[in-house]
Amino acid sequence: MKRVLAVVLAGGASERLSILAAERAKPAVPFGGKYRIIDFTLSNCANSGIYNVAVLTQFNPRSLAQHIGVGRPWDMDREQGGVVLLQPFLSRSQRNWYKGTADAVYQNMYYIIDNRVDEVLVLSADHIYSMRYDQIVLSHRNRRADVTVAVYEVAQEDTPRFGITTLDHNERIVHFEEKPTAAKSRMASMGIYVFNKKVLIDVLEEMAGGENGFDFGHDILPNLINKYQVYGSRFHGYWRDVGTVDAYWQANMDLIVDLPDLNLYNPENEIRTVAQGYPPVKLGPNAQISRALICNGAIVNGTVIESIISPRVFIEEDAVVKNSIIFEDVTIGRGSIIEKSIIDKQVWVSRGCHVGLGHDYTPNKEEPDHLNTGITLVGKGTRIPSDVMIGRNCKIEPWVEASDFTSKTLPSGETIKSKSPRRYQI
């Protein structure tokens, strides 16, 4: 795999993840307690023997850059190859912000040209899955393909969310349609492409120049099918696009079933991340835990049911966390109840609160398309005063203080904003 360059698209903003990605890049959103979303893509590269990796950043890149560093957790701190972070830049050629996935790669064409590689592996950094990319590359070479697209069979009702491919009996792609209303097949593009280097350069130069930019799915793939040998490579494992709050919550919950489809404990496909030297989990004398992931540094004196608890979380006695995701450095006060909620970093929930209360599933008034399945979000650094009752589909924005709560009750679908918001990338 020394002749393969992996280009990881990690620059997109994500309004659909609401406040979880408001001040951090989507690939930097925590996942599964100890990971970041981008860890899965970088780990797949390392497990496949691909150590020449370029990560294309753009939106709020600080925390992402800090997390990746020199790439040591993925064995990418190397003199030859390794990981490099590339961001938009201005020059005499008037390059500017990336305008689409293909435009992002095009604006870094110089880096691709300078690399002595045969294939370019284009990857998305916002999906959860474990895959051996080397197998796709070998299949690409054996077929003498110009382009290979990883494809995954989705449910018929989900086809409008994806680019849908049609394969012939030789697995060659004969039709592609981006987000069709009436799909001809259920084989969705996973946003994973293997290009022969010259083919990628040629097609990007041919398509470049539009004011609105261009994407691989919408613009590049439909124009490749009749000109080049484009094949599909079927993937049969676990793969989730976590681009919405509901999909993100569900993918986390998938980890705590008895036999999860995504096996985090397989040493042959280890998911790597930045090492954290926290002490072991501490359970109090009255702690009760059922189907949960509890990370190092957490102290649990209350009850945790079907939830994910990140490092340095403190759950006091008589507190209950159920069907929820708790990020780092959160305190859940005595007697408080957290149900079907996502609590961001450094939140303090005082005593006697109930977050995710009741059966009123009124969509969030500010984000009805993003918060409508009963999940309540609490932003980073928020301080919730004691005895506050918060309903479903609520949104507590980052850095809300106790004084911002004007009532002890927040009905479902409502939002609280800070009167003096602080701007931090997280």
Residues 292, 246 share a domain: no
Residues 140, 32 share a domain: yes
Asked if the structure places residue 336 within a domain, the reply is yes
Are the C-beta atoms of residues 199 and 117 closer than 8 Å to each other? no
Residues 66, 120 share a domain: yes
- Is the pLDDT score of 366 beyond 80? yes
Exposed (0-12), middle (13-18) or buried (19+): which is 403, by Cβ within 10 Å?
exposed
The pLDDT, as a whole number, for residue 279 is: 97
Q: Which whole number is the average pLDDT over 339-356?
A: 98
Across 11-20, 60-69, 110-119, 221-230, least confident range: 11-20
The pLDDT, as a whole number, for residue 14 is: 79
94 — pLDDT class (breaks 50, 70, 90): low
Asked if the structure places residue 276 within a domain, the reply is no
Residues 347, 248 share a domain: no
Asked if the structure places residue 70 within a domain, the reply is yes
The pLDDT, as a whole number, for residue 425 is: 45
CATH at residue 140: 3.90.550.10
The dihedral sign for the CA sequence 218, 219, 221, 222: positive
Asked if the structure places residue 214 within a domain, the reply is yes
- Is the pLDDT score of 34 beyond 70? yes
What percent of the chain stands above pLDDT 90? Answer: 84
- Is the pLDDT score of 181 beyond 70? yes
CATH at residue 364: 2.160.10.10
What percent of the chain stands above pLDDT 70? Answer: 96
CA distance 423 to 387: 28
92 — pLDDT class (breaks 50, 70, 90): very low
Angle, CA 378 vertex, CA 321 and CA 342 arms, to 5°: 45
Residues 331, 243 share a domain: no
Sequence-distant (≥ 6) Cβ neighbours of residue 35 within 8 angstroms? 271, 273
Which residues in 147-186 are b (16+ Cβ under 10 Å) and which e?
bbbbbbebeeeebeebbbbbbeeeeebeebbeeeeebebb
Asked if the structure places residue 411 within a domain, the reply is yes
The pLDDT, as a whole number, for residue 419 is: 85
Residues 301, 164 share a domain: no
Closest by CA position to 280, among listed 302, 255, 299, 303: 299
Q: Which whole number is the average pLDDT over 144-155?
A: 97
More confident residue, 424 or 27: 27
- Is the pLDDT score of 13 beyond 90? no
Residues 182, 110 share a domain: yes
Asked if the structure places residue 274 within a domain, the reply is no
Asked if the structure places residue 56 within a domain, the reply is yes
pLDDT tens digits, one per residue of 268-280: 899 999 998 999 9
- 5 membership: H or E segment, kind and range: strand 4-9
Full residue range of the structural domain in which residue 77 is found: 4-269
Q: What is the mean pLDDT of the chain?
A: 93
- Is the pLDDT score of 410 beyond 90? yes
The pLDDT, as a whole number, for residue 423 is: 52
Place of tokens 């957490």: 298
Asked if the structure places residue 322 within a domain, the reply is yes
Residues 150, 299 share a domain: no
Closest by CA position to 415, among listed 405, 423, 425: 405
Q: Which whole number is the average pLDDT over 380-408?
A: 97
Query: What is the pTM for the complete model shown?
Result: 0.94
Q: Count of domains in the chain?
A: 2
- 32 membership: H or E segment, kind and range: none
- Is the pLDDT score of 159 beyond 90? yes
